[in-house]
């Protein structure tokens, strides 16, 4: 629902609080007059931009968590959780409940009734779209754009093709597993040479964990391929140390639909990596806002999203951003990577934009493979 519809059904106490907050000049005894005054005041471009610019860091973080999520309906538990996240990110002493009260008096959310007559909080869609535009404008002021690049790399569709190549390889070859359940490196080399985006077996054991069941044994891209096929029961590791193609795997080879599989693998990656990168979906959403159909310098983009990332065990923010997010978005066909001079630029593709906006609910559960 839009703002005007929500105001019609809103509790009169909340309307009075919004009127007081925005200092609306209206007849406080007329609900219609108050609603008209609120709509006129809130949706003024300059008024809204000024309001956003006057928010403190915690409030601005909270509204990003609230509005960059695809959901337009929240429970009080959802809102308090987002409030606690905003407080943690900004190291603030503000209480989460106070952030929710601020959102109510600002008209960012409205009380409503959900299933089984439970209390829910609704986001006005037209107001949300205007706030997202303001967030986007503020982001674009902080990044560097280029009209063109000298050359670029695009891996659209290649990951799905290599999943098929991997499944075909298992069907045709006897694939032996080590005592730890990994493909022997000699056979890894044979397999990797057949892939459209080849990788090398890991040369030495290093600190590698947190991004999948076989991440510590296989290179990044193939680790995702392997875990995806295992999770979806397309392959099977038997007790005798052999890797088999399942009946589901055989059907997959003949019946897969490219667009559906691209979305499925993208969703799987989000859920698999989210455990180690809690704000992964929000970071990807910010990348989408500024870089869809535009070439954005990677260094400047990194500065924009660094706020949402944390050093993790053996990795710093830059490694997480470039290796775990940007490189994997390239492999997933979400972005293209180009060069202009000695600078790296990225662009979200049309397909990537559809994938990101088709799956941006921040409450999705992580996948933890064992």
Domain that holds residue 77: 3-140
First-to-last alpha carbon distance for the chain, in angstroms, is 42
Domain CATH for 121: 1.10.10
Which tens digit of pLDDT belongs to each residue from 276-330? 999 999 999 999 999 999 999 999 999 999 999 999 988 999 999 999 999 999 9
Verify that 215 and 363 share a domain, yes or no.
Answer: yes
Verify that 361 and 236 share a domain, yes or no.
Answer: yes
Domain end (from 121, 140, 159)? 140
Verify that 152 and 190 share a domain, yes or no.
Answer: yes
Structure tokens, 131 = 């706030």
Q: How many CB atoms lie within 10 A of CB 230?
A: 17
Verify that 194 and 206 share a domain, yes or no.
Answer: yes
Verify that 217 and 347 share a domain, yes or no.
Answer: yes
Verify that 211 and 324 share a domain, yes or no.
Answer: yes
The total domain count for the chain is 2
d(CA 24, CA 16) in angstroms, rounded, equals 10
Verify that 147 and 132 share a domain, yes or no.
Answer: no
Which tens digit of pLDDT belongs to each residue from 208-256? 888 999 999 999 999 999 999 999 999 999 999 999 999 999 999 999 9
Domain end (from 112, 140, 168)? 140
Verify that 147 and 277 share a domain, yes or no.
Answer: yes
Verify that 174 and 121 share a domain, yes or no.
Answer: no
pLDDT at position 165 over 90: yes
Verify that 9 and 65 share a domain, yes or no.
Answer: yes
Q: With beta carbons less than 8 A apart as the criterion, state whether 34 and 75 touch.
A: no
Sign of CA dihedral 285, 290, 295, 299: negative
Verify that 268 and 325 share a domain, yes or no.
Answer: yes
pLDDT at position 205 over 70: no
* Rg, C-alpha atoms of the chain: 24
d(CA 287, CA 336) in angstroms, rounded, equals 12
Verify that 356 and 207 share a domain, yes or no.
Answer: yes
Which tens digit of pLDDT belongs to each residue from 7-36? 998 989 999 999 998 999 999 999 999 999
Domain end (from 110, 140, 170)? 140
């Amino acid at each position: 629902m839009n703002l005007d519809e929500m105001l019609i059904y809103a509790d009169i106490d909340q309307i009075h609080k919004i009127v007081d907050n925005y200092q609306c000049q209206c007849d406080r005894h007329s609900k219609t007059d108050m609603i008209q005054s609120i709509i006129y005041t809130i949706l003024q471009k300059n008024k809204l931009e000024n309001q956003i610019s006057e928010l403190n860091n915690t409030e601005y973080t909270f509204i990003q968590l609230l509005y960059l999520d695809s959901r337009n309906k929240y429970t009080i538990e959802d809102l308090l959780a987002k409030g606690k996240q905003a407080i943690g990110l900004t190291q603030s002493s503000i209480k989460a409940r106070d952030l929710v009260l601020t959102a109510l008096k600002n008209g960012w959310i409205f009380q409503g009734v959900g299933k089984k007559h439970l209390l829910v909080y609704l986001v006005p869609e037209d107001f949300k779209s205007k706030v997202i535009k303001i967030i986007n404008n503020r982001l674009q002021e902080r990044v560097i754009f280029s009209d063109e690049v000298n050359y670029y790399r695009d891996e659209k569709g290649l990951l799905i093709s290599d999943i098929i190549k991997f499944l075909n390889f298992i069907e045709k070859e006897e694939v032996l597993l080590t005592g730890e359940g990994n493909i022997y490196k000699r056979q890894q080399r044979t397999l990797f040479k057949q892939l459209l985006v080849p990788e090398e077996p890991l040369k030495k054991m290093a600190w590698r964990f947190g991004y999948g069941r076989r991440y510590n044994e296989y290179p990044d891209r193939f680790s995702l391929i392997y875990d995806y096929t295992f999770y979806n029961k397309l392959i099977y590791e038997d007790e005798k140390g052999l890797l088999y193609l399942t009946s589901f795997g055989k059907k997959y080879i003949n019946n897969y639909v490219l667009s559906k599989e691209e979305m499925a693998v993208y969703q799987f990656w989000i859920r698999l990596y989210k455990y180690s990168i809690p704000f992964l979906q929000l970071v990807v959403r910010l990348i989408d806002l500024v870089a869809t159909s535009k070439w954005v310098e990677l260094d400047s983009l990194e500065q924009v999203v660094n706020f949402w990332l944390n050093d993790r065990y053996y990795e710093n923010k830059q490694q997480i951003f470039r290796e775990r997010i940007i490189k994997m978005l390239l492999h997933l066909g979400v972005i293209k990577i180009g060069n202009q001079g000695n600078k790296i630029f990225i662009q979200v593709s049309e397909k990537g934009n559809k994938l990101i906006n088709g799956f941006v609910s921040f409450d999705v559960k992580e996948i933890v493979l064992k």
